[in-house]
A and B are shown apart, each in its own frame.
Chain A
Amino acid sequence: MILGSVKTELIFLENKISVGSVTYAIKGRDVLRNNGFKVNIERKPSKSLSGCGYALKFVGDPDKAKAILQSHGIKIKDI
């Protein structure tokens, strides 16, 4: 007997993925937006070991986002 069902939903917090350059950041933003992500470009945090760069700030599954970006040839620096 089915008494009912419980729908579970993962809630993702804000994530950031660092990319190699502003060119990859713009391309990555467009690719993620086309895949339903809410995403913006921001400057990479200055605590980064390699120095200046850009990051994609988004809400959603980071593993899915990473896979989408990589499938479009976007070089990821770190998450």
Chain B
Amino acid sequence: MDINLMIDITPLLVEAAWVTVDISARALFFGFFIASALVALRTSRIPPVRWLARAYISVVRGTPYFVQLLLIFYGGPAIGLRLDPFTCGVVVGAFNIGAYMSEAMRGAIESVDSGQNEASRSLGFGRLATLQHIIMPQAAPLMIRSIGVLAIILVKNSSLVSIISVVELTYQAQRLIGSTYKPLEVFMLSALMYIVIIYAVMGIVEFLYRRATRYTFL
């Protein structure tokens, strides 16, 4: 093993790893809003709105992320959707993770006892205020860990955006192999960086989970 090479390329890989973090964080951020919107649409009083949301979730879950990425990046321009590679990675990531996240959120919200809703409504809280003050604080601990798992998948899936030439961790690794011919060293190092990122995500998730469940321990 060429340790010197590994030390030499570390800065380049760290820089690329930051792109991986950046693209994943943005996708997660927008994905959260897409997921919230999907949850709202799925409980709409208008049936076609509900069907549309369900159909969207089915399509996303029924197709590979890789295909979704290629479809939007290469197929998009045909319908006037021209995105630069980084933006395309964020957008497809957000819409992809949003579909999965909406299911996690819906499951958590539905598992809060219906008596909580009744108690809140009987005090005079409206639907939204009930969701905000009563339901979400209780649903949050139930969804944080599943959203964490999705965030990890999102980070790993981000390696696929290398195919549309976003210079993230995997793309950079491939480039470095092209110039060094040392796939073992380069891929081991990049794998290590994925592990670091994912452990960081898990740490954040655990922190949030503990914060959200504080009340059950007091």
Q: Do A and B bind each other?
A: no
Instruction: List residues of A whose CB falls within 8 A of some B CB.
Output: none
Instruction: List residues of B whose CB falls within 8 A of some A CB.
Output: none
